[in-house]
Amino acid sequence: MDSSNEWAGMGLAVRRARRARGLTLEQAAGLAGHTKSWLSKVENGVLPLDKRADIAALATALEVSADTLIGEPAPEVQPRRGAWNLNPLRAVLLDASPEDPPDILARPVSVLRELNAQADDALRWSKYDTLLPLLPTLLGELEIQAATAGGEDREEALRLLVSATATAVIVLRYAAQPDLAWVAAERGRQAASLLGDPVWDAAAAYGMAHARSSANRPRALMVTPRLADEFEPVAGQSRMAREVYGMLRLSAALACAVEGKHAAAEDHGAEASRVAAALGDRNDAWELFGVSNVGVWRTSMAVEAGNAERALEYASRVEPRALASANRRGALLMERGRAHAMLGGAEHTAKAIKAFRAAERLSPAQVQNSPLVRETVGHLLNQAQRTAGGKDLRGLAWRMGIV
């Protein structure tokens, strides 16, 4: 917090980084492609820094990681905080790999297949009490089977390992552990490499692309437009291949949005939408690729482009019940909230708060540790001058560590 006792948000981190570099407002703004007035408003909390492209541009201009500007995550204040013990997961990720598995007993691949399905279901519905104790053992035993089994059992173990590491990536991102998330993604990439299947190579590349905040412009994300182009010729070989191709196109849209190339992002989103239209929505789709999930992504891309009206239009077309995941339903509500906050005014502010609260009920960790939502909520709180912000806004802000 700054001396005014108001939510300073990312603006305070920007000011500190700028002064550390010895740059004037005008110099830093110029390097980031903005005006001095805009940067001054950001640093003083008048404007929220809630677009990935702006965060990325400032991080580049100030020669810091985007994580430095995003800051520490909201503290986990749920009563059952003990469920977030990440030490077993950290140990299996750092001390073992598909080629150097841990020294433990492994159950049959058929049993691990069922456990992986349980882990996927627990992630979808935010059942972290179930997921976190399960995941380290699942990863370790899959690594043993990948290293010691033969034939179809080995291949299935490797495929399951790509899937389980992708689950770990998401959990660790929600827990604000990007370094460990990257290690988890790397373990998935290693498993895919041993499998030697281009579809699973692409699936692992998707996990790598989302292991770190997109505002850092990580190379694994920024190459997804090229990866999608290269993968397109083989995308028709199976339903999963088409689903992987579609998710690579959505990743390419995000990569373009982070660079401020919103027309290109729209084109990638349109291609993903075309593929999804032929597949429909299925609960067992890879990464839930389908019409509804594409709608969530396109809503987000419209928010990033600063087009709140289009974002709400995209969101209105999504049937939440077609998203077999509390996380994806929560993501849709988060983007609705951001769009309403962009529009401003009492009515849209109330709708933004309502959307964020609904998202938090579905997926608490996802919402509370989202730097973009946290920045938006802090800005709304400043506008409301705290005491006039209403119980729901102040409660949400408290749970996010803003007050």
**Is 97 strand, coil or helix?**
strand
Q: DSSP state, 238?
A: -
Q: Which residues of 60-85 are buried (b: 16+ CB within 10 A; e: fewer)?
A: ebbebebbbbbbebbebeeeeeeeee
Tokens of 47: 């404007």
Q: Which residues of the chain have pLDDT under 70?
A: 1-7, 72-83, 385-389
Supply the pTM of this predicted model: 0.91
How many Å separate Cα 87 from the centre of its chain?
22
Instruction: Write down the pLDDT at residue 7.
Output: 64
Nearest-angstrom CA–CA distance, 73 and 81: 15
If one counts every other C-beta atom within 10 angstroms of the C-beta of residue 401, the result is 17
Token pair in block for residue 252: 């390419």
